[in-house]
Amino acid sequence: MGESRNPTVTLRMIADELGIHPSTVSRVLNASGSDPSKWAAAETVQRIRNLATERGYHPNVYAANLRTARSNLVGVIVPRLQDYVLATVYEGIEEAAIEHGLSTFVTNSLDRADNRRARTSMMIERRVGGLIFGDAHLEDSFLEEIAAQDIPFVLVSRYTGAHISVTGDDYLGGRLVGEHLLSIGRRNVAILAGLPFASTARDRTRGVTDVFKEAGIGISADRIVHGPFDAAGGRAAANAVLRSGRYPDAIFATNDFAAIGALGSLRDHGLSVPEHVALVGYNDTPLAAEMLVPLTTVRSPMHVMGRRALELLADIMAGQSVVSEHLKPELIVRASSRIA
Amino acid sequence: MGESRNPTVTLRMIADELGIHPSTVSRVLNASGSDPSKWAAAETVQRIRNLATERGYHPNVYAANLRTARSNLVGVIVPRLQDYVLATVYEGIEEAAIEHGLSTFVTNSLDRADNRRARTSMMIERRVGGLIFGDAHLEDSFLEEIAAQDIPFVLVSRYTGAHISVTGDDYLGGRLVGEHLLSIGRRNVAILAGLPFASTARDRTRGVTDVFKEAGIGISADRIVHGPFDAAGGRAAANAVLRSGRYPDAIFATNDFAAIGALGSLRDHGLSVPEHVALVGYNDTPLAAEMLVPLTTVRSPMHVMGRRALELLADIMAGQSVVSEHLKPELIVRASSRIA
DNA sequence: TGGACTTACGCAATCGATTGTGTAATGTTG
DNA sequence: CAACATTACACAATCGATTGCGTAAGTCCA
């Protein structure tokens, strides 16, 4: 109907038109749901609601926030939205946020300390009611500072310290990979470990190394190379591994994109997958299955992770206490890691 | 220093502490840059600035907006951040926004009409100063409605109507692909065209069909299949093409991810690239070069596109008039389209 | 029938920053 | 030296929604 006619419909405008006081209108409109209406006569309530929707009234977020200092805004900080994994997590967050009547505000930190700080304070200036960090760093005190300001937050994808988090069980995922590689007879594995300050990278790596250690096989430190979780990072890390000339018989990339980068490197070194080298990724992104040699990987519930993170945050914002969650991963075996 | 001690430092607090009036403090702090200080004595200016930074003062965004009804918020609506292309465009937008002192607010529309409407009005409620749409639809009146509310906006990646936009020159990109395919002797091409309501899809497709037409070769309608710009969409579209059994000697996917999906389909049909079928993608995402058979594709300046879109929007918001931009694409030939 | 409630609202202060309109004090000019 | 212009601020209204407190009118029970 006559929706966006008037650029700004205020509470006073509809109150005046109805000949009643703005405060009454406010109470009626806000009491929606819970208590029907002890604030106005049933007939008045109807007239208010009707006119509000007819005029397309929406409360001025700024005025409301100024008065109440409450906000239904949630800030989300991720390393990088370009990363499919975090983009998917964010979609889960956004989806759940909408269901909870919250709005989200994302930004990239690129895992850089200055960005994290600047973006976080920008969000606090925007009076977010809570924060979700997807870029937690191990051994870093930044989050302690945030916690000290008692603004609710949860971590997603990566964890650190004792902060509430929703993550995949990356250690288990790593173990699944390790067991799989042993089962197909690979003993000389190299790990493209990802960023050293990310719990995901550390745990996935540890999962593999622990399994191998339990089988009496050590993985030397020079077989574990760190680098970004993307194609370029995977290629560089694989190059570093292959440069030595002592080729591994398996490469575990802690991320599918890094695995694809490694694929490029293997190809350039004349090594084929899985004959010479078994290749395993992580996350089961949609590309994994489409490769010429489909990629073995670990499926992680990225979307759900985002949803749960928002839900936990909403609970915390509502004053409830919650506990961290670790979601189970699943090994998906494909052609890139057949028996040698 | 003593940064986040006091949860809320207001203008009045620092004014009181200095024994002057809040209005003076406001003027001094806001006059930063342009006019040095005709609002207070040089010494007072210094005292104000010092105390402000010492106390970690930041204006309450809500109070300021309530008063001025101006906002340095920019709303960005994209089809889907999970799409690397749009995520990259968004990174360009965000980067430029920060340089301009603007904040951005992204959301996914998933190309659905109801979402576009709901998210847009949510942004308008948040009093955004301008909008950037990455999900423009051809033959759709939605943007006319927005234009009627005279809120500044620009389109990015896709265009429609006469609205200001920053896009790649997709028609040219399509022509480059067409000419390349002809030059390597492929005449029986199938096109995985992408979403029919996207200008990117339409123009890239037209570029190829026009070149072929000029060479006297028609591309029949059943060789042009529409679908989402992702791996699953590419796979499905390729399946549709190959189902007939009349195999093409080239497939042009209007998006790299769709090309990778097509790769999976070709593999399953026992067709190899480039021997049986030449494969060409679009966007030159980082994965293209890493494929076992590196992917020929068209490089488009996604990041710059985002930057320019924000810059044009900032100009419009500043009252200047601007014109649309079409950025030049570049063909990147790789192994997936060698001479047959 | 009078006091105690209840119903249905109205009043006015408040959140914090911004800005048009003063005004006292100082400086300048003819 | 008087008239006038600056300088350096202060006052107070304003943006729109929220909310503690107040109150007139009506209902109920003893």
Separation between Cα atoms, residue A291 and residue A311, nearest integer Å: 35
Domain assignment present for B116:
yes
Mean pLDDT of chain B: 93
Mean pLDDT of chain A: 93
Q: Using the beta-carbon criterion (under 8 Å), do B88 and A94 form an inter-chain contact? A: no
Question: Do B319 and B274 share a domain, yes or no?
Answer: no
The minimum CA-CA distance between A290 and chain B, rounded to whole Å, is 4
Q: According to the model, what pLDDT value does residue A2 have?
A: 34
Separation between Cα atoms, residue A130 and residue A73, nearest integer Å: 7
Question: Do B196 and B280 share a domain, yes or no?
Answer: yes
Question: Do A201 and A285 share a domain, yes or no?
Answer: yes
Q: Has residue B48 got a pLDDT over 50?
A: yes
Q: Has residue B112 got a pLDDT over 70?
A: yes
The minimum CA-CA distance between A66 and chain B, rounded to whole Å, is 6
Query: B125 is written with which tokens?
Result: 């409620």
The mean per-residue pLDDT over the stretch A148-169 comes to 95
Q: Using the beta-carbon criterion (under 8 Å), do B230 and A66 form an inter-chain contact? A: no
The mean per-residue pLDDT over the stretch A270-281 comes to 96
Question: Do A318 and A255 share a domain, yes or no?
Answer: no
pLDDT interval class at B34 (50, 70, 90): low
Q: Has residue A4 got a pLDDT over 50?
A: no
pLDDT tens-place string over residues B51-104: 999 998 999 999 999 999 888 899 999 999 999 999 999 999 999 999 998 999
Nearest chain B residue to A60, by CA? B125
By Cβ distance, the residue of A82, A125, A292 closest to B87 is A82
Q: According to the model, what pLDDT value does residue A171 have?
A: 98
Q: According to the model, what pLDDT value does residue A3 have?
A: 41
Minimum CA–C1' distance nucleotide for A18: C9
Domain assignment present for B132:
yes
At A68, phi and psi to the nearest 5? -90, -20
Q: Using the beta-carbon criterion (under 8 Å), do B149 and A7 form an inter-chain contact? A: yes
Give the bases of strand D that a protein CB approaches within 7 Å: 7-12, 14-20
Q: Has residue B5 got a pLDDT over 60?
A: no
Domain assignment present for B77:
yes
**pLDDT above 70 coverage of chain B, percent:** 96
The mean per-residue pLDDT over the stretch A149-176 comes to 96
Q: Which residues contact B110 (CB under 8 A, 6 or more apart)?
A: B79, B80
Q: How many CB atoms sit inside 10 A of residue A93's CB?
A: 29
Question: Do A179 and A164 share a domain, yes or no?
Answer: no
pLDDT interval class at A1 (50, 70, 90): very low
Nearest chain B residue to A86, by CA? B82
The minimum CA-CA distance between A120 and chain B, rounded to whole Å, is 12
Question: Do A138 and A259 share a domain, yes or no?
Answer: no
Footprint of strand C on the protein (CB under 7 A): A 19-24, 38-42, 44, 63, 66-67, 69; B 8, 10-12, 22-23, 26-27, 29-30, 57, 59-60, 63-64, 66-68
Query: B148 is written with which tokens?
Result: 């009627």
Minimum CA–C1' distance nucleotide for A45: C8
Q: Using the beta-carbon criterion (under 8 Å), do B82 and A63 form an inter-chain contact? A: no
Q: Using the beta-carbon criterion (under 8 Å), do B235 and A290 form an inter-chain contact? A: yes
Q: Using the beta-carbon criterion (under 8 Å), do A261 and B84 form an inter-chain contact? A: no
Q: According to the model, what pLDDT value does residue A272 have?
A: 94
> How far: B41 CA to D2 C1' (Å)?
28
**Strand D lies under 7 A from the Cβ of residue B20:** yes
The mean per-residue pLDDT over the stretch A256-284 comes to 96
Nearest chain A residue to B9, by CA? A125
Q: Has residue A202 got a pLDDT over 70?
A: yes
pLDDT interval class at A40 (50, 70, 90): confident
The mean per-residue pLDDT over the stretch A286-291 comes to 94
**Strand D lies under 7 A from the Cβ of residue A26:** yes
Domain assignment present for B2:
no
Domain assignment present for B54:
yes
Q: Has residue B7 got a pLDDT over 80?
A: no
Domain assignment present for A66:
no
pLDDT tens-place string over residues B169-203: 999 999 999 999 999 999 999 999 999 999 999 99
Question: Do B149 and B179 share a domain, yes or no?
Answer: no
Q: Has residue B244 got a pLDDT over 90?
A: no
Question: Do A25 and A119 share a domain, yes or no?
Answer: no
The mean per-residue pLDDT over the stretch B36-46 comes to 80
**pLDDT above 90 coverage of chain B, percent:** 82
Q: How many CB atoms sit inside 10 A of residue A300's CB?
A: 27
CATH number at residue B267: 3.40.50.2300
Containing structural domain, residue B23: 11-59
Q: Provide the CA B284 distance to its chain's centre, in angstroms.
A: 15
Domain assignment present for B197:
yes
Domain assignment present for A236:
yes
Distances (CA, A) of A167 to A44, A200, A261, A318, A324: 49, 8, 25, 22, 8
Q: Which residues contact B190 (CB under 8 A, 6 or more apart)?
A: B223, B224, B225, B238, B241, B248, B250, B251, B252
Question: How many domains would you assign to chain B?
Answer: 3
Question: Do A151 and A202 share a domain, yes or no?
Answer: no
pLDDT interval class at B231 (50, 70, 90): very high
Give the DSSP H/E element, type plus range, for residue A42. helix A42-55
Question: Do B277 and B177 share a domain, yes or no?
Answer: yes
Closest CA to A199 of A148, A254, A145, A120: A254
| Window from A111-115, A144-148, A305-309 with minimum mean pLDDT | A144-148
Q: According to the model, what pLDDT value does residue A322 have?
A: 97
Q: According to the model, what pLDDT value does residue B32 have?
A: 64
Question: Do B164 and B174 share a domain, yes or no?
Answer: no
Q: Using the beta-carbon criterion (under 8 Å), do B290 and A66 form an inter-chain contact? A: no
The mean per-residue pLDDT over the stretch A135-156 comes to 92
**Strand D lies under 7 A from the Cβ of residue A64:** yes
Q: According to the model, what pLDDT value does residue B52 have?
A: 92
pLDDT interval class at A265 (50, 70, 90): very high
Give the bases of strand C that a protein CB approaches within 7 Å: 7-12, 14-20
pLDDT interval class at A149 (50, 70, 90): confident
Which residues from B are below 8 Å from A88, CB to CB? 82
Question: Do B100 and B242 share a domain, yes or no?
Answer: no
Q: According to the model, what pLDDT value does residue A183 have?
A: 97
